[in-house]
């Protein structure tokens, strides 16, 4: 499958590399063509890897990942172009964090809305699935870095899109039993607000390589 990854930070590059390893063709998209990080990634990893603008990556991909900074995701997707996004599954892994206030990261949207919902409203023809935003990049693509069973969440309005994303998650190594469907895209509110707790867990544990295990009572 051809996959476009929007965002050239550690999350975007980690996802892009793992997708390549799983046999996909991947184009890494940035605001401008020739982005230094994207070029270095494409040149260094080899195989069916390429880079370009957000619009290039969106047009290339049959399925897309939004790994841009959450506060800038809507602008990035606008640059990608609604016509390039229409009808495609978009895996939204971004968190709407604002680190500019000097008091630690806070969310730019929360409680009665979420970035996932904003993306779905703005690009109504896109099949948005919120996923992978509750773990660090390395764990996204290698859940076995964390000992034992643990849980990854998905949310979205399109059941078929969530099934397709579940297949990608299983290819990353997430067992089917570890993938918990939280329902429609409004569940992105809780998934994004969880970041406040996750950041505290990181500080308390001394590592970002961690996750939660949800086990319903029997």
Mean pLDDT of all residues in 46-52 = 94
pTM reported for the whole predicted model = 0.96
Q: Which residues form the domain of 14? A: 2-205
* Percent of the residues in the chain that have a pLDDT greater than 90, as a whole number: 93
Across the chain, the runs of DSSP E, i.e. the strands, are 2-6, 25-30, 49-53, 63-66, 89-92, 97-98, 106-107, 127-131, 152-156, 179-181
Any domain includes 21: yes
Any domain includes 144: yes
Structure tokens at 215: 């086990």
Predicted confidence at residue 109, as pLDDT, reads 95
Structure tokens at 175: 């067992």
Any domain includes 214: no
Instruction: Say which CATH number the domain at 17 has.
Output: 3.40.50.720
Any domain includes 213: no
Structure tokens at 141: 């693509």
Any domain includes 153: yes
Predicted confidence at residue 104, as pLDDT, reads 67
* Total domains present in the chain: 1
Instruction: Pick the closest to residue 133 from 184, 94, 181, 175 (CA basis).
Output: 94
**Is residue 175's pLDDT more than 90?**
yes
Q: pLDDT tens, 4-24?
A: 999 999 999 999 999 999 999
């Amino acid at each position: 499958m051809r996959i476009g990854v929007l965002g050239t930070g550690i999350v975007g590059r980690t996802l892009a590399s793992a997708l390549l390893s799983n046999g996909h063709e991947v184009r890494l998209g940035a605001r401008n063509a020739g982005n230094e990080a994207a070029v270095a990634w494409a040149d260094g990893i080899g195989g069916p890897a390429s880079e370009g603008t957000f619009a290039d990556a969106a047009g290339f991909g049959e399925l897309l990942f939004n790994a841009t900074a959450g506060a800038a995701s809507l602008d990035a997707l606008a640059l990608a172009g609604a016509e390039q996004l229409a009808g495609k599954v978009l895996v939204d892994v971004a968190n709407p964090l604002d680190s500019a206030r000097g008091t630690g990261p806070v969310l730019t949207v929360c409680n009665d809305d979420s970035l996932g919902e904003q993306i779905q409203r703005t690009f109504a023809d896109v099949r948005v699935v919120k996923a992978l935003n509750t773990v660090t990049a390395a764990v996204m693509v290698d859940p076995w870095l964390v000992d034992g069973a643990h849980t990854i969440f998905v949310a979205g309005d399109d059941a078929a899109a969530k099934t397709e994303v579940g297949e990608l998650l299983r290819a990353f190594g997430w067992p089917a039993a570890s993938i918990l469907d939280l329902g429609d895209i409004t569940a992105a509110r809780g998934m994004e607000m969880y970041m406040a707790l996750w950041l505290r867990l990181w500080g308390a544990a001394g590592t970002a390589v961690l996750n939660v295990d949800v086990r319903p009572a029997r």
